[in-house]
Structure 1
């Protein structure tokens, strides 16, 4: 029986950067040798060939339900192609309108342990030109959990017009994606394209996720999720370039939300799509259409996104770039959380605490002309060959101000707090340099 009636949006049915510690992947697949798959002793993905083995075994039908995996190192996939982990095959037939689920799905926990998978093109494993799911994982079910993972700048997710395309999950029928970030490109040739997840059928939670790459697609596209039903998107942000020319339902965070919530999110990346109308929403900085859905504590910078909501959206607020970088924005994003999730990023914009803790000990973004910060033990020393002055602000990772002062060459600031701190210098003419230091 031809399986030609695949689950998709009802509207569509009607309208018809890290270096690996291993050598680059050579295309082999080998089984892992460490761990028993329990939460206390997970299977360890120690090299690229073991990730390939996971792809092959899940696509062959092994679900690993209830099993735990953890990556132990950054993985360099050598610029090669690898199909998605798993295979989408949920369908109906003319004789049986009930949804049949025959997808090959990973139903365990995949913990990246804050490592990066890089230099990989993820391609479809669909043998026929039928609707599919394409991402690092093709499909997720309620038991699926993907967390603590970055897809690097050298990653491209290469979809077709038939695929639901996302960086981490193409098509979701439930599950959780937490603390995941994409720096590469998600290329969806058709509808339902998201930086993290392409299309969510129901009941998914996406939290602490980031798109800082590029997204190309058509309608129902978003920096984090393309389409979401009965789901939660929270503590996420997108600085991605979103390119969906002539498309509708395109959002900086989410294209189309149905009975879902979008909380504590912000967008600063440019969104290219149709402006839209009351009948067909076009581009929007957070979500193009909130159908029986709600947004709260979400922010955008119109000068950076290039758009604003077609009509007023409760819980979606426009701010300037300066306001987005201000210390009280961190307080706003953390205000209603049981535990702080946000701090000051190295570029001055809000960042997630796992990003600030999980990257290297020192990062610098931007540069001022003639004045810099040097770390010496527990002190920050100002170096200015020209004698220029600047306003120094030092924050802890929660956004709390530790020090603020006007400084010039030779000034020393002792930092008593231990852990990650963000130091920002702003000159009188508005030039900014931002550093992240580990004390």
Structure 2
């Protein structure tokens, strides 16, 4: 029982502890119900706020303090901040730094940030801004302004995978962007954004009114943006929307890029939705220099462009639009173009559009470069008429000069020259010719336009790469290996040829038939020995020689002799005889047969055994007058007698010993 009570006590304590730990509660779209300003730190990590000693921010709570302070009325004009660590904001919903709301009734709430944030090359991840209820300008910065001068803005910052939500209901204008919803500088002032990268989504609900929505900035007047990127962004459901900025006036953008998708109603551009001048006389237009938009545009209303939706004014220098543009408008003029949807007082120099432009209108044509041309000047611009066959430079209106259609490769080459300042070359090294394969001289290929050149500078284009720089194959330099005849014991080999260059082997001098396995090619089997019928001999043996003239002795054996009487002996006259091999006919020297002393001729003796030639008489039985055998008998008799005597004596001794 005690153990049970102890277990329940521990369980109760754990439950109490878990309840004390804060946990994020998420509403729809995975947006937390809790907000960061409720968890704001009391102090920054350090610093005094000067440019030399900026306020230091190391945690999400300290960053939330900045947001809370600005919402409470502290604009931090002339103050500097610096991130010392990367920060994850995914736990709670972010309240933008600076709040701004312009309602339909004309009332507004305006509390702006007027300082400068050094991102210190850190990353803010998990940014979630949801202004569908409060309706403030949505972004990391909700409201950033330069009212009195000084340095205002941000630099060296990355905001990754952000999610921004907004709703225009009840608003005169909606402003939303991942970095800043609303950014405004007074005349002769500016807001600086330098080396900033953002990615994520911006979603706008209801689009009956006026929106200013961008991947980086929603609304921006007198902005100076340099080396900034809105990458892989998705902007949906809005008007006056751009991949980089929704509405921009009196601003400058240099070497900035946007990529992703923008879909909505009207005034949609790959880089800027609506470009205008902040002065009524048009003397303060926005300037875009070496900026690129690789953004797919889809719109259900007019003014859609690969770079700018509506360019009321603006200067565009060395800019490119790479994305496709599609309009679903049919009941009215779509004003859809590859670079600008509608142009008014614009000037474009060395700008190019490579995307495909499509329109569902059965009445109005889309434009390869400008959808609807009202005014403006163009110089050295181009669009892809290979993708947009049949489209003129302008769908509505006439551009008299400065815009030319070209095939895809030519337009890309223009981009290399004007936007990149030259080709981005990749070298293909020289391939030496071999005996059987042609070689090729080195050449260069531009990674952007895919054109080929003889030189790295791109001065000499190769129009026929297949036939350029072909180095003829050298052919084989053959060395013959002569035929080796087979012998009785060794295999031979057919003749073959070896190329001294490639070391390949061939059965023919022309090199038509390659030998892939030289060790198996052209083997001539050994002939083996073949004995001749003629016997060769010397004094001790006889043999047959190999008929293949290899000198090998075959069937060699010792002679097998028999006696041959050359002349019979008589009683008074000696005869002669010789030994002769019964196999090969080899003859030994003749020997004498003594006279018999009778009138009967003497029978010839048996031939000698070759192994007993030097043993004596060379006969096996006693001959007439031979006394050697008689002596043997006498010796045998003596030995037998001695043995008998010994036996008798031994028997007697044994008897007496008893």
Please state which band the TM-score falls in when normalised by the shorter chain.
0.5 to 0.7
- Counterparts of 1:344 and 1:109 in 2: how far apart (Å)? 38
- Counterparts of 1:393 and 1:73 in 2: how far apart (Å)? 42
Q: 1:322 aligns with which of 396, 409, 432?
A: 409
Q: 1:300 aligns with which of 353, 363, 373?
A: 353
Q: 1:193 aligns with which of 205, 222, 241?
A: 241
1:160 match = 205
1:256 match = 310
Contact 2:260 2:294 in 1 (8 A): yes
**1:281–1:123 CA distance, 2 compared to 1 (3 A):** same
Contact 2:443 2:455 in 1 (8 A): no
Map 1:333-348 onto structure 2 (within 5 A): 333=419
Shift of 1:256: 1.2
Q: 2:175 aligns with which of 133, 157, 170?
A: 133
**What is the TM-score when the length of structure 1 is the normalising length?**
0.60
Match of 2:225, SS? strand
Contact 1:392 1:404 in 2 (8 A): yes
- Counterparts of 1:134 and 1:71 in 2: how far apart (Å)? 23
- Would you say 1:220 and 2:232 are equivalent positions? no
Q: 1:241 aligns with which of 291, 296, 301?
A: 296
Task: Kindly indicate which of the two structures has a greater share of residues assigned to helix.
Answer: 2
- Counterparts of 2:259 and 2:122 in 1: how far apart (Å)? 16
- Counterparts of 1:50 and 1:402 in 2: how far apart (Å)? 58
- Structure 1 residues 174-214: Cα deviation after superposition (integer angstroms, max 9, x where no partner): 333332211233434231212222223x4222332211122
- Counterparts of 1:210 and 1:79 in 2: how far apart (Å)? 30
**1:304–1:249 CA distance, 2 compared to 1 (3 A):** closer
**What is the TM-score when the length of structure 2 is the normalising length?**
0.42
Match of 1:107, SS? coil
Contact 1:393 1:403 in 2 (8 A): no
2:577 match = none
1:123 match = 130
**1:229–1:329 CA distance, 2 compared to 1 (3 A):** closer
Map 1:60-71 onto structure 2 (within 5 A): 60-71=72-83
Q: Specify every segment of 5 or more residues in structure 2 that has no aligned partner in the other structure, as ranges.
A: 1-34, 136-168, 278-284, 360-366, 385-406, 432-437, 448-452, 458-463, 467-658
- Counterparts of 1:333 and 1:38 in 2: how far apart (Å)? 39
Map 1:34-183 onto structure 2 (within 5 A): 34-71=46-83, 75-78=87-90, 81-90=93-102, 102-112=109-119, 116-124=123-131, 127=134, 129-131=169-171, 132-135=174-177, 136-142=179-185, 143-152=190-199, 155-161=200-206, 163-183=211-231
Contact 1:111 1:149 in 2 (8 A): no
Q: Which has the higher contact order (CA 8 A, sep 6+)?
A: 1
- Structure 1 residues 46-91: Cα deviation after superposition (integer angstroms, max 9, x where no partner): 4555544444443444333333445556555448753543333346
Contact 1:122 1:156 in 2 (8 A): no
**1:403–1:292 CA distance, 2 compared to 1 (3 A):** closer
Q: 2:371 aligns with which of 310, 327, 332?
A: 310
**1:330–1:165 CA distance, 2 compared to 1 (3 A):** same
2:516 match = none
**1:151–1:263 CA distance, 2 compared to 1 (3 A):** same
- Would you say 1:205 and 2:252 are equivalent positions? yes
Q: How many residues align?
A: 329
Q: Which has the larger radius of gyration?
A: 2
- Structure 1 residues 312-346: Cα deviation after superposition (integer angstroms, max 9, x where no partner): 674342255434554x6444237xxxxxxx6777x
Question: Which deviates further from its counterpart, 106-115 or 207-216?
Answer: 106-115
- Structure 1 residues 397-439: Cα deviation after superposition (integer angstroms, max 9, x where no partner): xxxx99749xxxxxxxxxxxxxxxxxxxxx969xxxxxxxxxx
- Counterparts of 2:316 and 2:99 in 1: how far apart (Å)? 28
Shift of 1:227: 1.3
Match of 1:183, SS? strand
Contact 1:84 1:122 in 2 (8 A): yes
Match of 1:58, SS? helix
- Counterparts of 2:454 and 2:443 in 1: how far apart (Å)? 13
**1:137–1:324 CA distance, 2 compared to 1 (3 A):** same
Shift of 1:219: 0.5
Q: 1:282 aligns with which of 335, 350, 356?
A: 335
- Structure 1 residues 116-166: Cα deviation after superposition (integer angstroms, max 9, x where no partner): 5444344326525333211232211114322211113xx222223364222
- Structure 1 residues 228-280: Cα deviation after superposition (integer angstroms, max 9, x where no partner): 22132412111122232x22112222111223322221011122224789x74
Contact 1:59 1:85 in 2 (8 A): yes
- Counterparts of 2:465 and 2:383 in 1: how far apart (Å)? 26
- Structure 1 residues 97-125: Cα deviation after superposition (integer angstroms, max 9, x where no partner): xxx87433333334545655444344326
Match of 1:33, SS? coil
Match of 2:205, SS? coil
1:184 match = 232
The CA RMSD measured in Å over matched residues stands at 4.4
